């Protein structure tokens, strides 16, 4: 693959990720008004008090990690569009890291669930259409 083709592929991926990210910012603001996905997941999975306590810790940790990487992405994007193409790879890596953090969060939630809750959580994830750029969760 030529260098130019590589950059085109990476730019297309970044544009798609940005579109997804913009939709998730709007969606995230809606969640904060309604109490976020926390209450929905607690209710849907019928988490007990011990699980809720563990889940709240997972949420706190996830928010800290996500916030850090999102700040990094904003800084890199600003510099990338103003300065140089040399930031394309670090920017791409930051998006990859954000997705890794999100996947780890889902895996961490699964770890605190019973077998029946895991099945229900997987159904919930599919219903929420989390991987669509135009996702509009069903509540």
pLDDT of res. 60? 95
pLDDT for the residue 15: 74
pLDDT by 10s per residue, the chain, length 139:
688 888 787 787 877 777 777 776 655 544 444 567 899 999 999 999 999 999 999 999 999 999 999 999 998 888 888 777 778 888 899 999 999 999 999 999 999 999 999 999 999 988 886 555 554 444 4
Burial class (CB in 10 A: 0-12, 13-18, 19+), 84: exposed
The verdict on residue 136 lying in a domain is no
| Residue partners of 106: CB distance under 8 A and separation at least 6 | 125
Q: Are 70 and 138 in contact (CB under 8 A)?
A: no
Residue 106 belongs to domain spanning: 3-128
Residue 109: its pLDDT value, please? 96
In a domain, 61, yes or no: yes
In a domain, 134, yes or no: no
In eight-state DSSP terms, residue 113 is S
- Position 139 in a domain: no
Note whether residue 51 is domain-resident: yes
> Rounded to whole angstroms, what are the CA distances from 90 to 15, 72, 87, 93, 95?
15, 10, 5, 5, 9
**Is 133 a domain residue?**
no
The total of other beta-carbon atoms located within 10 Å of residue 120's CB is 16
Q: How many domains does the chain have?
A: 1
Q: Can you give the pLDDT at residue 134?
A: 59
| Domain contains 23 | yes
C-alpha angle 75/131/6, rounded to 5°?
Answer: 55
Q: Please tell me the predicted confidence (pLDDT) of residue 34.
A: 52
In a domain, 135, yes or no: no
């Amino acid at each position: 693959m030529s260098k130019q083709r590589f950059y085109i592929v990476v730019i297309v991926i970044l544009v798609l990720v940005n579109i997804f990210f913009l939709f998730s910012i709007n969606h995230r603001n809606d969640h904060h008004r309604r109490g976020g996905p926390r209450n929905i997941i607690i209710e849907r999975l019928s988490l007990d008090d011990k699980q809720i306590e563990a889940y709240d810790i997972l949420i706190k940790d996830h928010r800290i990690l996500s916030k850090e990487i999102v700040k990094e992405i904003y800084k890199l994007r600003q510099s990338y569009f103003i300065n140089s193409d040399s930031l394309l790879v670090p920017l791409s890596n930051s998006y990859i890291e954000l997705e890794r953090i999100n996947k780890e969060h889902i895996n961490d939630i699964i770890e605190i669930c019973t077998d029946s809750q895991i099945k229900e959580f997987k159904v919930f994830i599919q219903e929420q259409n989390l991987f669509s750029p135009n996702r509009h969760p069903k509540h």
